[in-house]
C-alpha cells in the first residue's frame, strides 16, 4: 500500500476583536485556525451594526497575496483554496467607517509535521 506524506499544521488561536465604535457592537472572525495542507480555509468576518462593504482583509499586516488561491466572497468571507504552509500567519479583518476603524485577527498555523 502506498501512503503520501502531507504536512499538517494544527494550533488553535482565538480571534480578538478590538473595542467597537459608533453603532458597531462587535467584529469577529469565524473559522478554524487549523491549516491542513491541500485543504481549503474559510474565514468569515462578521460586523454587527456596520455595513459589509466597509470590510477589508490583510495577511501579516500587508495586502493579501495576489494569487488565484485567495478568493474574497461578497459576504465578507475569505477562502484560501488548496492551503499551503506559506498560508500560515495572522489574518486581519478591518472595518472602517468615516469616523472610526477597528479590526479582528485570527492566527493560522502552528507546528508543521508530516503524517502518513
pLDDT in tens, 72-101: 988 889 999 999 999 999 999 988 877 777
Q: Of 23-27, 41-45, 53-57, which one has max mean pLDDT? A: 41-45
CATH number at residue 47: 2.60.40.10
Q: For residue 86, is it left (φ>0), alpha (ψ between -120 and 50) or beta? A: alpha
Note whether residue 10 is domain-resident: no
Note whether residue 2 is domain-resident: no
Note whether residue 66 is domain-resident: yes
- Residue-wise pLDDT for 49-76, tens only, equals 766 566 899 999 999 988 899 999 888 8
Range of the domain at 44: 23-110
Whole-model pTM over 0.85 = no
Note whether residue 31 is domain-resident: yes
Please name every residue paired with 55 in a beta bridge, in sequence order, or none if there are none: 95
Q: For 36, list phi and psi in degrees, rounded to 5.
A: -115, 115
Domain total in the chain: 1
Query: Per-residue pLDDT for 115 more than 70?
Result: no
Amino acid at each position: 500500500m502506498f501512503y503520501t506524506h502531507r504536512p499538517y499544521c494544527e494550533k488553535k488561536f482565538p480571534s480578538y476583536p478590538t473595542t467597537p465604535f459608533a453603532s458597531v457592537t462587535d467584529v469577529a472572525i469565524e473559522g478554524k485556525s487549523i491549516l491542513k495542507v491541500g485543504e481549503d480555509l474559510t474565514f468569515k468576518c462578521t460586523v454587527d451594526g456596520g455595513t459589509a462593504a466597509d470590510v477589508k482583509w490583510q495577511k501579516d499586516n500587508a495586502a493579501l497575496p495576489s494569487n488565484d488561491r485567495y478568493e474574497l466572497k461578497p459576504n465578507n468571507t475569505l477562502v484560501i483554496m488548496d492551503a499551503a504552509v506559506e498560508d500560515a500567519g495572522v489574518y486581519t479583518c478591518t472595518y472602517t467607517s468615516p469616523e472610526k476603524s477597528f479590526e479582528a485577527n485570527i492566527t493560522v498555523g502552528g507546528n508543521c509535521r508530516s503524517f502518513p
